[in-house]
Amino acid sequence: MQNEIIFAILALLTIVSSIVMISAHRPIDSALAFIVALICIAALFGLVNATFLFVVQIIIYAGAILSLILFIVMFLNIKDENLPDEKNKNWWLLGTSLIVAPFGAILIDLIVRSDIAVNMVPAEGFGGIKDVGLTLFSKWVLPFELVSILLLVALVGAVTLAKRDN
């Protein structure tokens, strides 16, 4: 029961902050709402005993990436008159959510059918750093390496883009 209440609060916070993130007018509000959403997702990971994902979510997303985004938002020094005029924003939001609704229904159906539960008793060592590491480097080593090559490509791309100006 306790877990369900915590889950409900966290889920509500995640959804509300995600909506705020999409619909906020100023970029800084979006970024801050995004931080709240990410921390709530981290807490949800913690709730299902995925401790390693919990801490990595906070270190990488909430700690590093979002502070870079905020840094850039501050660096650009956007004034209120430079922001785009979003008169029909709410209509757009309504329309797109209607289009996405069938996919949402499929997703909900999937979640209801699957056997994940908030009160699941995890196996010994589930979600800990050792288990995640062993699984990643034995069973999923090829996808892992492919993803790291993808990241390397992005890194090289960023460096070349930055170098082109000089």
Query: According to DSSP H, which parts of the chain are helical?
Result: 2-23, 27-47, 51-56, 66-76, 89-113, 129-138, 141-163
Those residues with Cβ within 8 angstroms of residue 84's Cβ, 6 or more apart along the chain or in another chain: none
Binding mask 61-100 for another protein (x = CB under 8 A): -xxx--xx-xx--xx-------------------------
- Which residue stretch of 46-54, 105-113, 144-152, 156-164 sits at the interface with another protein (rule: CB under 8 A)? 46-54
Instruction: Pick the closer one to another protein by CB: 78 or 94.
Output: 78
Report the distance separating Cα 38 and Cα 57, nearest Å.
Answer: 7
CB of 144 to another protein, least distance (A): 17
> Whose CA is closest to 94, among 31, 23, 13, 28?
23
Report the distance separating Cα 3 and Cα 121, nearest Å.
Answer: 12
Instruction: Pick the closer one to another protein by CB: 18 or 51.
Output: 51
Q: Give, as ranges, the residues between 119 and 148 that touch another protein (CB under 8 A).
A: 128-129
Sign of the C-alpha dihedral, residues 123, 126, 128, 130?
positive
- Which residue stretch of 5-13, 27-35, 106-114, 152-160 sits at the interface with another protein (rule: CB under 8 A)? 27-35
Under the criterion CB under 8 A, does residue 32 sit at the interface with another protein? Answer: yes
Under the criterion CB under 8 A, does residue 55 sit at the interface with another protein? Answer: yes
Binding site for another protein (CB under 8 A): 28, 32, 35, 51-52, 54-56, 58-59, 62-64, 67-68, 70-71, 74-75, 128-129
